[in-house]
């Protein structure tokens, strides 16, 4: 057997459950992201939520602290992209909440506000998984250097509310798509 760990690792998206995450969520997201980015997606060993991320006043987690914790994990570092999934409400100081946050190669998304039950509506698993994919693709788009797009039907449109998330869906507009690396072509 050849040792391909390093070369494969470079073009793989790593999903990291942070704290308790429903296994179905990561499994469905893994398959969905594989279809979108046309590259292998693996579910990694999770990590606990960093205690220091919790703001007792706001009762939310600071997404920047979680992002830093993900990036500080040596075992994740050889993956091309790292996406943390957390089931707590996230915030940054300037905003009431965020659906997610991204840096140059890592990102984090929160499941909390993607559930219908958060808004006291009946549960809808299909919608829940679609929203998770939309937020995951959006944050991974940022890790590829894409900014926010003015096209309300593009995944890179900024979601101010869940209405924006549901309207835009998980696909890149042609302009954003053209700025992405060619995911399907094999690396030399």
Any idea which residues carry the catalytic annotation? 139
Name which of 42 and 173 has its Cβ closer to Zn ion. Answer: 173
> Closest distance between Zn ion and the C-beta of residue 49, in Å?
22
Which is closer to Zn ion, CB of 127 or CB of 180? 180
Of 47 and 138, nearer to Zn ion (C-beta) is 138
Least distance in angstroms from the C-beta of 71 to Zn ion: 18
Check binding of 103 to Zn ion (CB under 5 A).
no
Kindly tell me which of 103 and 151 has the beta carbon lying closer to Zn ion: 151
- Scanning residues 138 to 177, which ones bind Zn ion (CB under 5 A)? 149, 151, 154, 156, 173, 176
3-class DSSP string for the chain? CCCCHHHHHHCCEEEEEECCCCHHHHHHHHHHHHHHHCCCEEECCCECCCHHHEECCCCEEEHHHHHHHHHCCHHHCCCCEEEEEECCCEECCCCCCECEEECCCEEEEECHHHCHHHHCCCCCHHHHHHHHHHHHHHHHHHHCCCCCCCCCCCCCCCCCCHHHHHHHCCCCCHHHHHHCCCCCCCCC
> Restricting to residues 8-27, which ones interact with Zn ion according to CB under 5 A?
none
Residue 78 beta carbon to Zn ion: minimum distance, rounded to whole angstroms: 26
| Site residues (vs Zn ion, CB under 5 A) | 149, 151, 154, 156, 173, 176
């Amino acid at each position: 057997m050849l040792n391909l760990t390093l070369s494969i690792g470079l073009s793989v998206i790593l999903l990291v459950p942070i704290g308790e995450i429903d296994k179905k969520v990561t499994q469905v997201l893994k398959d969905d992201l594989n279809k979108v980015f046309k590259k292998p997606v693996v579910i990694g060993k999770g990590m606990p939520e960093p205690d220091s991320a919790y703001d007792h006043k706001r009762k939310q987690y600071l997404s920047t602290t979680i992002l830093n914790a993900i990036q500080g994990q040596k075992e994740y570092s050889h993956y091309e992209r790292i996406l943390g999934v957390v089931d707590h409400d996230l915030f940054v100081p300037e905003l009431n909440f965020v659906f997610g946050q991204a840096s140059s190669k890592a990102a984090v998304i929160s499941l909390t506000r993607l559930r219908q039950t958060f808004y006291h509506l009946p549960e809808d698993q299909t919608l829940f998984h679609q929203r998770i994919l939309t937020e995951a693709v959006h944050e991974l788009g940022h890790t590829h250097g894409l900014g926010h797009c003015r096209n309300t039907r593009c995944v890179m449109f900024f979601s101010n509310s869940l209405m924006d998330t549901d309207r835009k869906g998980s696909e890149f507009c042609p302009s954003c798509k053209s700025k992405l690396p060619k995911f399907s072509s094999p690396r030399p």
